[in-house]
Homo-oligomer: A and B are copies of this chain.
């Protein structure tokens, strides 16, 4: 099960009633954060999710509304007694930017490992899951991210029995281990059916719509995408500021054949995103405008 929380839904600046856009995910004891603007640690505390298990922090880009809260977040993780290293993923320059900001927090009780994205599309393997970064189209270097959790095939008890594999090895094979046993070489494919559908989530802000986003969001269970503007007539402004409208996001969701679309990163001038939800649903029916703290559990299909 992947536990997802959109901690904030604002763009540009935090408002008294709307935190800046940030996504937190929990899977199998690991937490992953995407973006961390001013106040994200408070939004997280409000939600009641712990900062301690955050193993990975991804940054879309270095505009302040996506990164200005990182120093407070790191200190907050330190206060929560984290000692394990934290991995940060982001555009080129990440290490320099973070270290420059850390002038007010030079000492932390854990190490930081930096992964700077160098390709247009790049995949990072974390064992249980993979994170894929893909280039967006904003006015500075910016990336979207897909998180994918694979699921192996179903364990075939009859085959395992027929092959005389001892029961105490079933679990190890199911977990992907290869075993040498009494001269035999046992591999998972001997007892597992074909791979089953995993879980896929895609997150993209800030960007104009692009084919690259559509391609990377393909077949996602959840697509979280910026919808800076919902009001009619904002297409020109969206183009100029390298952002997108609800309708451009909904069109990408449709083309990418995702299951569900969450809109976020609202302009401070957009007080009631829900007003324009139905208009976006005419393009992609399962579109949702979001409030801070929106949560969803994504389970493997039965």
A interface residue numbers (CB < 8 A to B): 12-16, 38-39, 41-42, 45-46, 62-64, 67-69, 71-72, 75-76, 79, 96-97, 100-101, 103-105
Counted per complex, copies of this chain come to 2
CB-CB < 8 A to A79: which residues of B?
Answer: 12-13
Q: With contacts A62-B104, A103-B100, A104-B101 known, is A42 near B71, CB below 8 A?
A: no
Q: With contacts A68-B72, A75-B64 known, is A16 near B46, CB below 8 A?
A: yes
Please, which residue of chain B has its CB at the minimum distance from the CB of A101?
B101
Measured CA separation A62–B104 after assembly (Å)? 6
Return 7 A-B CB contacts under 8 Å, by A number: A13-B41, A16-B45, A38-B39, A38-B71, A64-B105, A67-B104, A101-B101
Tell me the dominant secondary structure on chain A's binding face.
Answer: helix
CB-CB < 8 A to A45: which residues of B?
Answer: 15-16
CB-CB < 8 A to A16: which residues of B?
Answer: 42, 45-46
Task: For residue A244, give the distance in angstroms from its CB to the closest CB of chain B.
Answer: 21
Which of B38, B42, B101 is the one whose CB lies under 8 Å from A100? Answer: B101
Q: With contacts A39-B39, A100-B101, A103-B101 known, is A13 near B76, CB below 8 A?
A: yes
Which of B38, B76, B105 is the one whose CB lies under 8 Å from A41? Answer: B38
Q: With contacts A13-B79, A45-B15, A46-B16 known, is A38 near B104, CB below 8 A?
A: no
